[in-house]
Amino acid sequence: MSAILIFLAGLASIIIWWMAQQRLTSKPWLESARASDFSPITRSQIPTAKIGLGVFLAVVGALFTLFISAYFMRMGLQDWWAIPLPGVLWVNTAALVVSSIALEMAKSSAQQNDANAMKIALLASFVTAIGFLAGQLFAWRELVSEGYVLADNPANSFFYLITGMHGLHILGGLLVLSRTTFNAWQGEPPKEARLSIELCAMYWHFMLIVWLVIFALFAGWANDFVDICRQLLT
Amino acid sequence: MVNIPSSINDPIPAAEVEDVELYHPHSWWTTYVFSQDAKVIAIQYSLTAISIGLVALVLSWLMRLQLAFPGVFTFIDADRYYQFITMHGMIMVIYLLTALFLGGFGNYLIPLMLGARDMVFPYANMLSYWIYLLAVLVLVAGFFAPGGPTGAGWTLYPPQAVLSGTPGGQDWGIILMLSSLILFIIGFTMGGLNYVVTVLQGRARGMTLMRMPLTIWGIFTATVMALLAFPALFVASVMMLFDRVLGTSFFMPAIVEMGTQLQHGGGSPILFQHLFWFFGHPEVYIVALPAFGIVSDLISVHARKNIFGYRMMVWAIVIIGALSFVVWAHHMYVSGMNPNFGFFFATTTLIIAVPTAIKVYNWVLTLWRGDIHLTIPMLFALGFIVTFVNGGLTGLFLGNVVVDVPLSDTMFVVAHFHMVMGVAPIMVIFGAIYHWYPKITGRMLDETMGRIHFWVTFLGAYLIFFPMHYLGLLGAPRRYYELGESVVNPPSAHDLNIFITMMALTVGAAQVLFLFNAAWSLRHGKDAGGNPWRATTLEWQTPTTPPPHGNFGKELPVVYRWAYDYSVPGAPEDFIPQNEPDPENRSREHAS
């Protein structure tokens, strides 16, 4: 459970940092009749939707960290054989990276009010993300045809479970991205599309990080990293 | 842009508050059924939670009947008995308490108490309720599925939860249970995002965090905890579903069942316990923190006195929320984990008693020399304090490894968690319903029926659960269908069991009276007016009662003070609403 505790500690430090700015040491009983001593507006200037997505990503982060915690605990038991990673995963990773970069480009062209570049970048991101999902399915088929089926070994089970969960999250993001892309091609001006593109980009970068972490996990690098940490500590 | 007033004492005209665009329903369906109004969603959540809670109440009667009169009720066989305890526990903890506190009270009170028009993501809020309803229906479907619902105990420990010896283990029961939990968590996450972000972004002008009523602090912190703790149950449920349906071995060790070797092998049941209790312990505080918050407000209003140590109360809520994530393994002292872990978790468990005790002292000090009105909400609030202290004290026994080991899985544990997590939050729920029913419906609940309801419930709950501690100390194990005549069940203890059952039926009957009261008062109750308790918080200052769509009139309220200005010396009345500026400011405002 150390992975989730580290994740929560990180989250706690963000929460503490935020709370430190909220004047939690003020004495509200002495402040009557002052509508607002310190700020005329009690809410943050960041768009509400962005804060909502941020909170949601914290939940998604906790979810994947818990899967990873379970993975580490189960890995310590006797019957574990690591799964060979299909080469196509490298292509998929590249596709997801390209998708993320394309969204970042869409974001900056929306900021620069460049509708055409924005539309093309959005479409590129959408297509590469679909490519990623197709590639994941292909990787699954390859593993199955080599005989690494779901229930044979916990390493296989975790591979299908976690990549499946990640794929579902990408699929959910694709629904939103398809709407944003569709609207952009319908002629929505970049100014109005900007917030929705920013939200997509935020989500996409986060899912890319999650993917890189679980890719490292299945490739075994995460274990080496943990071992190094352990040696440094002892 | 907003003008910042030159002097901090200047009132800020309400016109400067930026308003939000509100979704306006156009038809009966979108007003009352597929509504995006948090108040309607709150009532939908509450009614669904109470309905399914009644099912759990009936299940508890059936269990008690079996324990008191073994063999008399022939339709309760061992399988049924296990199904009853499982469903009773799961429904009460998750589908009633969590849903009612966060989905019900959270939805109703957050926008109103903060001076907001509605939740920030009303559509997701609506979806949250409908997914919750679906989760409840899937849960109920277990009763009608072949083999019945799961009988694995509310903790659903593998491997027994998915073996054929357990009711529902190899039938539909466990599958429906896990699916229902997964749905519940998805639905809750949608609602939870709303509660958190509304507190962050939806507050009225002047409503700083430290001016929020403690009710909101409790619900807010509990929601943050729930958002981070429920994923653990989600992960555990998904992995167990894989084990059960797809034959994986996340949790399932190699097992020979009825002479046949199962296909599972090598899995770790302890892994499930870690995941389950990583959710399960914060869950206790997910239920307790809203109760703490609400009870603080009830005591302050009905004792006509400001809450003692407001800052300390807020900090205690936050600290309890944080600490509750590092105590989970005190549920696992007998699981065979490293004894050093036991030492660590016993320490953190005892530390959590410190902020909790601070809260109890502050409630008592709020009552100290207050103008205590023994209204029904106040009676329930007092009942909560007593019950919570009693239940909490037995928690000190169970938190220590050496004391817990012999008491583990006895009726002592059952008595402990029913006192602290069952009766105590239910007391707050009733107090809150008696307190806010006038705002929700515009009418008061009947006083006489309310008093009977309180005394029967309060005394009855004590008569049920106090003797149960004694049974536990005798060694009577929990989850046993039938004890027979044994060392742990001498005739005297059996008589006690009959007594407990009688009391359980009596308390149950009192709840029927409450339901009747709630239905009857809807038409025949005394007219409540806008602010029957003369309270300061914003939900009592709405232009009409019940509050209209959009909660407040044309202009959102502006908050000038904290929520606890009761019996202020020199004030014309013994309460000053949060949206009331100081008299001198008011006259200046009129002049301009």
Confidence at residue B326, expressed as pLDDT on a 0 to 100 scale: 93
B330-379 residue pLDDT tens: 999 988 888 888 899 999 999 999 999 999 999 999 999 999 999 999 99
For residue B490, the model assigns a pLDDT of 87
- Predicted confidence at residue B586, as pLDDT, reads 52
Whether the predicted pLDDT of B587 surpasses 60: no
CB of B33 within 8 A of CB of B43?
no
CA-closest candidate to residue B107, choices B77, B86, B129: B129
Query: For testing the chain B interface, which of A5, A63, A78, A166 should be mutated: the one with the most B CBs within 10 Å?
Result: A63
Q: Which of B4, B426, B405 is nearest to A35 (CA)?
A: B4
- Give CA–CA dist B127/B147, Å, rounded: 31
Whole-angstrom Cα distance, residue A153 to residue B378? 58
As a whole number of angstroms, the distance between CA B185 and CA B102 comes to 13
Which tens digits make up the pLDDT trace of B20-29?
677 778 888 8
Task: Answer yes or no: are the C-beta atoms of B152 and B136 closer than 8 Å.
Answer: no
Which residues does chain B have within 8 Å of residue A79's beta carbon, measured at their own beta carbons? 249, 265-266
Q: What is the pLDDT of residue B554?
A: 84
Following CA atoms B273, B274, B275, B280 in sequence, which dihedral angle do they give, to the nearest 10 degrees? 80
CA-to-CA distance for B119 and B229, rounded, in angstroms? 23
ipTM above 0.90, yes or no: yes
pLDDT category at B221 given cuts 50, 70, 90 is: very high
Query: Alpha-carbon torsion A48, A54, A60, A66, what sign?
Result: negative
Residue B592 pLDDT > 60: no
pLDDT at residue A208 tops 60: yes
> Which chain B residues are closer than 8 Å to A28 by Cβ?
208, 210-211, 310-311, 561-562
Contact yes or no for B203 and A43 at CB 8 A: yes
**Cross-chain residue pair B275–A154, CB shorter than 8 Å:** no
| Cα–Cα distance measured from residue A229 to residue B282, given in angstroms and rounded to the nearest whole number | 29
Task: Give the Cβ contact number of residue A169 at 10 Å.
Answer: 18
Q: Which of B248, B268, B536 would best serve as a mutation to test chain A binding (most A beta carbons within 10 A)?
A: B248
Chain A partners within 8 Å of B232 (Cβ): 4, 62, 66
User: Rounded CA gap, B318 and B10, in Å?
Assistant: 33
Minimum distance, in Å, between the CA of residue B539 and any CA atom of chain A: 18
Minimal-distance CA residue of chain A relative to B195: A52
* A79–B266 CB contact, under 8 Å: yes
Kindly indicate the confidence band of residue B585, based on its pLDDT and cuts at 50, 70 and 90.
low
What pLDDT does residue A34 have? 55
- pLDDT per residue as tens digits for the range B35-53: 999 999 999 999 999 999 9
Place of tokens 């407040």: B552
CB contacts, 8 Å: A32 with chain B: 560-562, 565, 576, 582
pLDDT band for A42, please (50, 70, 90 cuts). low
Of residues B8 and B388, more confidently modeled: B388
- Which residues touch B320 (CB under 8 Å, ≥6 apart)? B221, B285, B288, B289, B352, B355, B356
**pLDDT confidence tier of residue B392, bands split at 50, 70 and 90:** very high
Query: Does residue B465 have a pLDDT over 90?
Result: yes
- The residue of chain A nearest to residue B235, with distances taken between CA atoms, is A67
pLDDT in tens, B501-526: 999 999 999 999 999 999 999 999 99
Evaluate if residue A61 carries a pLDDT over 90: yes
**Cβ distance of B228 and A27 shorter than 8 Å:** no
The mean pLDDT of B47-67, rounded to a whole number, is: 96
Across the interface, whether the CB atoms of B200 and A33 are under 8 A apart is answered: no
Do residues B582 and B571 touch, judged by C-beta distance below 8 A?
Answer: no
- A22 with B248: Cβ contact below 8 A: no
Per the CB < 8 Å rule, is B582 touching A32?
Answer: yes
Residues of A in contact with B202 (CB under 8 A): 43
If you count residue pairs, one on A and one on B, with CB atoms under 8 Å apart, how many are there? Answer: 178
Residue of A7, A42, A160 to mutate, testing the B interface (most B Cβ within 10 Å of its Cβ): A42
CB atoms inside a 10 Å sphere around CB B357: 13
Residue from the list B12, B242, B310 with its beta carbon closest to the beta carbon of A36: B12
- Answer yes or no: do A77 and B12 touch at CB < 8 A: no
User: Which chain B residue is nearest to residue A62, measuring alpha carbons?
Assistant: B228
| pLDDT per position as a tens digit, A105-158 | 999 999 999 999 999 999 999 999 999 999 999 999 999 999 999 988 999 999
The pLDDT of residue B257 is 86
DSSP letter for B103, please: I
Chain B residues lying within 8 Å of A66, measured CB to CB: 231-232, 234-235, 275, 278
- Closest chain A CA to residue B228: A59
Mean of pLDDT values over B379-401: 93
Q: Can you tell me the distance from the alpha carbon of B551 to that of B540, in angstroms, rounded to the nearest whole number? A: 11
* Statement: residue B107 has pLDDT above 60: yes
Residues ≥6 apart with Cβ < 8 Å to B474: B488, B489, B490, B493
As to burial, measured by CB atoms within 10 angstroms (0-12 exposed, 13-18 middle, 19+ buried), residue B569 is exposed
Nearest to A24 among B16, B207, B314 (CB): B314
Instruction: Residue B231: list chain A partners with CB under 8 A.
Output: 59, 62-63, 66
Q: How far is A210 from chain B (nearest CA, A)?
A: 16
From residue B219, give the alpha-carbon distance in Å to each of A2, A4, B36, B55, B285. Answer: 28, 24, 20, 26, 11
Highest mean pLDDT among A75-89, B39-53, B538-552: B39-53
Quick one: pLDDT at residue A46? Answer: 87
What was the pLDDT predicted at A77?
84
Nearest C-alpha in B relative to A11: B228
- Closest-CA distance, B262 to chain A, in angstroms, reads 13
Question: What's the whole-number average pLDDT of chain B?
Answer: 91
Place of tokens 């969204």: A103
Do B561 and A32 count as a contact with CB atoms less than 8 A apart?
yes
Distance between B9 CA and the closest CA of chain A, angstroms: 5
Query: Is A77–B268 a contact, with Cβ atoms under 8 angstroms apart?
Result: yes
CB of B378 closer than 8 Å to CB of B320: no
CB contact (8 A) between residue A70 and residue B275: yes
Higher-confidence residue of B279 and A82: namely B279
Q: How far is A233 from chain B (nearest CA, A)?
A: 19
DSSP-derived secondary structure letter, A111:
H
The reply to whether residue A154 touches residue B266, judged by beta carbons under 8 angstroms, is: yes
C-alpha closest to that of A50 among A234, A221, A199: A199
The alpha carbon of residue A169 is apart from the nearest alpha carbon of chain B, in Å, by: 13
CA distance B103 to B130: 12
- Coil/strand/helix, residue B152: coil
pLDDT one-digit tens code per residue, A178-205: 999 999 999 889 888 999 999 999 999 9
